[in-house]
């Protein structure tokens, strides 16, 4: 799945991504990078709304699991189980959300469990960046549940 395909999928299946004007900047086996402008995600202080930061971090992390499963030929329902968000500094402009598997995440074990049990969970991290600086950190756990059907 390339960046254009993922962006079309997100806009069609997760309407909030279109409202937030999310664009997929990069898709790779080890990371997904999403970009968004400040304007539709602004708060009363003219900085990035925390809910938008959380939403785009979740989207980036969810997208990484989605892309990796599709690359394996697995169409599974992916849901977030839990997450935490830490805000380091305000964002006063366009921003990036970059996801990657958590350092201790075991993709092969995740796949084996999904194949054997029909469900599995994996930890994914993301950062929100603005002007090359990390502004927020996301940590989440996503579950894959059987087939998309």
Q: Which domains does the chain have, with CATH numbers?
A: 3-145 (3.10.129.10)
User: Helix/strand/coil (H, E, C) string of the chain?
Assistant: CCHHHHHHHHHHHCHHHHHCCCEEEEECCCCEEEEECCHHHECCCCCECHHHHHHHHHHHHHHHHHHHHHHCCCCCEEEEEEEEEEECCCCCCCEEEEEEECCCCCHHHHHHHHHHHCEEEEEEEEEEEECCEEEEEEEEEEEEECCCC
Q: What is the pLDDT of residues 22-70, one digit of tens each?
A: 999 999 989 999 999 999 999 999 999 999 999 999 999 999 999 999 9
| pLDDT in the model for residue 147 | 67
Q: Is the pTM of this model over 0.85?
A: yes
Q: What is the pLDDT of residues 62-83, one digit of tens each?
A: 999 999 999 999 989 999 999 9
């Amino acid at each position: 799945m390339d960046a254009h395909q993922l962006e079309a999928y997100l806009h069609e299946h997760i309407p909030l991504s279109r409202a937030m004007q999310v664009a997929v900047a990069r898709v790779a086996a080890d990371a997904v990078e999403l970009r968004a402008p400040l304007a539709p995600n602004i708060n009363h202080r003219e900085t990035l709304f925390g809910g938008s930061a959380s939403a785009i971090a979740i989207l980036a992390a969810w997208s990484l699991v989605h892309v990796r499963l599709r690359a394996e030929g697995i169409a599974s329902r992916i849901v977030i189980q839990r997450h935490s968000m830490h805000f380091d500094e305000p964002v006063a402009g366009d921003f990036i959300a970059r996801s990657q598997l958590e350092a201790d995440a075991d993709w092969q074990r995740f796949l084996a469990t999904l194949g054997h049990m029909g469900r599995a969970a994996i930890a994914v991290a993301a950062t929100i960046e603005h002007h090359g600086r990390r502004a927020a950190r996301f940590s989440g756990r996503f579950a894959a549940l059987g087939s998309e059907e």
